[in-house]
Chain A
Amino acid sequence: MAVKSMGEYDFPSRSRQELYGDDQLVSVWFQDTMWFASPAMFRAPRAMTWADFRDQMFVPFAEEDPDYDPAAPRTWMLHGAPFEPRDDQTLAELGVRHKDVIGTRVAA
Chain B
Amino acid sequence: MTLAPENKTKKAKKLSMKARYEALTRGLDWEPSYVEKDEMFPHLDYEGIKIHDWAAWEDPFRLTIDAYCKYQAEKDKRLYAVLDGFAQGQGHLGLTDASYLNAMKIFIQGVTPLEYGAHRHFAYLARHFAGPGPRFAALCQSIDEIRHMQTEIHTLSNYNKYYSGFHNWPEEYDRVWYLSVPKSFFEDALSCGPFEFLIAVGFSFEYLLTNLLFVPFMSGSSFNGDLPTMTFGFSAQSDESRHMTLGLEAIKFLLEQDEANVPIVQGWIDKWFWRSYRVTALVAQMLDYMLPRKVMSWKESFELYFEEQMLGGLFEDLAFYGITPPRHVEDAIKEKEILSHQVYWTLYQFSFAAAFTTSAPSDEHMDWLSQAYPDTFDTHYRPLWEKEKKNIEAGGRHFAPGLPQLCQVCQVPMLFTEPGDATTFAQRESEFEGEIYHTCSNGCQWIFEREPEKYRQAWLPVHQIYQGNCGGPTVPEVLEWYGLQDGDAGEYIGSRDHRNWQAWQGEAAADTATPDETKAGA
Contacts and interface: CB of A to CB of B under 8 A. Distances in A.
A17 to B, nearest CB: 8
B282 to A, nearest CB: 14
Given A40-B403, A41-B405, A61-B402, A101 B438 contact: yes
Given A25-B463, A29-B427, A34-B380, A10 B453 contact: yes
Interface string A3-15: 1111001111111
Q: Which applies to chain B's interface (DSSP): helix, strand, loop or mixed?
A: mixed
A34 B436 CA distance: 25
A66 B466 contact: no
Contacts of B46: 4-6
A34 B384 contact: yes
A20 B472 CA distance: 14
28 contacts: A1-B451, A2-B451, A2-B453, A3-B454, A4-B48, A9-B453, A11-B456, A12-B457, A13-B435, A13-B456, A17-B435, A19-B467, A29-B405, A34-B345, A35-B384, A37-B400, A39-B404, A40-B400, A40-B404, A41-B406, A64-B401, A66-B391, A66-B394, A66-B396, A99-B435, A99-B437, A99-B438, A101-B427
A98 interface: yes
A52 interface: no
B391 A37 contact: no
A11 B46 CA distance: 19
Given A3-B453, A12-B457, A64-B400, 17 more contacts: A1-B451, A9-B453, A10-B453, A11-B456, A13-B456, A14-B458, A15-B463, A36-B349, A37-B342, A37-B345, A37-B346, A37-B415, A61-B400, A66-B390, A66-B391, A98-B435, A99-B435
Interface of A: 1-6, 9-17, 19-20, 25, 27, 29, 31, 34-43, 60-61, 64, 66-67, 97-101
Nearest to B403: A41
A99 B381 CA distance: 29
A97 B436 contact: yes
B450 A1 contact: yes
Nearest to A43: B466
B401 A61 contact: yes
Contact of B457 (A11, A17, A40, A41): A11
Contacts, number: 123
Contacts of B423: 34
8 smallest A-B Cβ distances: which pairs? A37-B346, A38-B413, A13-B456, A43-B466, A27-B405, A15-B463, A39-B405, A38-B404
Given A20-B466, A25-B463, A35-B384, A99 B404 contact: no
Interface string B357-399: 0000000000000000000000010001001001100101011
Contacts of B415: 37-38
Nearest to A26: B405
Nearest to B440: A38
A4 B43 CA distance: 12
Contact of B436 (A9, A43, A99): A99
B257 to A, nearest CB: 18
A13 B457 contact: yes
Given A35-B387, A40-B403, A41-B405, A16 B435 contact: yes
A5 B42 CA distance: 12
Contacts of B463: 14-15, 25
Contacts of A19: 467
Contacts of B462: 41
A29 B466 CA distance: 18
Contacts of A9: 453-454
Nearest to B456: A13
A66 B393 CA distance: 12
B457 A38 contact: no
Contacts of B438: 27, 99, 101
Contacts of A31: 424-425
A64 B405 contact: no
